[in-house]
Amino acid sequence: MAGAPEGEVPIRAITNGIHTRSWLSHEMAELYARYFGPRFLEKPADHAVWERTEEIPPGELWRIHQSRRERLVFSP
């Protein structure tokens, strides 16, 4: 609506946000809670929580990734 007065534009906000608890798989939520602590679920946007990403062993992250991928690809 180019040129329309701001009050007449029906769009109020655009967001790329997600609902973390419903977006993450159960396995990833458990992994994050184990390495980030319960604060992750309370404040998933807190950068201090995500600074601990390096603590997750790559093998453990890969195992969960593979499990989720298999479920996606091979599920009936």
pLDDT tens for each residue of the chain, 76 residues long:
577 787 787 777 777 777 778 888 899 989 998 998 877 878 878 888 888 889 999 999 999 999 999 988 887 6
Instruction: Look at residue 24 in the predicted model and tell me its pLDDT.
Output: 87
Torsion sign across C-alpha atoms 65, 68, 73, 74: positive
Integer angstrom CA distances of residue 39 from 2, 33, 35, 44, 49: 44, 8, 10, 8, 7
Single pTM value for the model: 0.66
